[in-house]
């Protein structure tokens, strides 16, 4: 029993360290947002083998640093959730910018969201809170096993 508890504590500490490291400003913070998202998608593909189809504008108007980091973190959290939970074969990452808004959309062809996904962990809840602080919102939708299109 002591061995099991030690292993659980070790795993919890490892996850906590990963979370703290992830909260630091990403090295991509100095890159233009489309390039940072492209690099994130490439690293995700390399790590997971899941193809990420990116539709990103070449240029994005200047955004406040908090908005850029929040969009990057949202993409990062979404990709992490796809890898951990979706059992997907492909992912689509889209960034749209117009005069009044910036929209980041991450879709996959996996099994869909569980009921009340924001109550199952801190990731989605934290993203929603951050989006609201910046005057935005977070929307979740689920269409299991359906590729976007």
**Taking the CA atoms of the chain, what radius of gyration do you get in angstroms?**
16
Q: Is the pTM of this model over 0.85?
A: no
Spatial distance between the Cα atoms of 37 and 84, rounded to a whole number of angstroms: 19
Least Cα distance to 140 among 77, 90, 56 occurs for 77
- pLDDT tens, position by position, for the chain (149 residues)? 889 989 998 888 888 777 666 655 565 667 889 999 999 999 999 999 999 999 999 889 988 888 888 899 889 988 988 998 888 999 999 999 988 889 999 999 988 776 665 556 677 788 888 888 888 888 877 676 666 66
Domains of the chain are 31-133 (3.30.565.10)
Least Cα distance to 104 among 33, 45, 43 occurs for 33
Contact status, residue 116 vs residue 62, Cβ threshold 8 Å: no
- What's the pLDDT at 25? 54
- What's the pLDDT at 39? 92
């Amino acid at each position: 029993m002591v061995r099991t508890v030690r292993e659980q504590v070790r795993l919890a500490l490892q996850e906590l360290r990963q979370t703290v490291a992830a909260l630091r400003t990403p090295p991509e913070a100095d890159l233009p947002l489309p390039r940072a998202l492209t690099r994130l998608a490439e690293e995700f593909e390399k790590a997971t083998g899941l193809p990420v189809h990116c539709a990103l504008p070449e240029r994005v108007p200047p955004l406040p640093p908090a908005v850029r980091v929040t969009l990057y973190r949202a993409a990062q959290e979404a990709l992490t959730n796809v890898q951990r939970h979706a059992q997907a074969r492909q992912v689509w990452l889209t960034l749209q910018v117009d005069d009044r808004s910036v929209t980041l959309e991450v879709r996959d062809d996996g099994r869909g969201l569980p009921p009340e996904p924001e109550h199952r962990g801190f990731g989605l809840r934290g993203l929603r809170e951050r989006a609201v602080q910046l005057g935005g919102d977070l929307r979740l939708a689920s269409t299991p096993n359906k590729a976007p299109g």
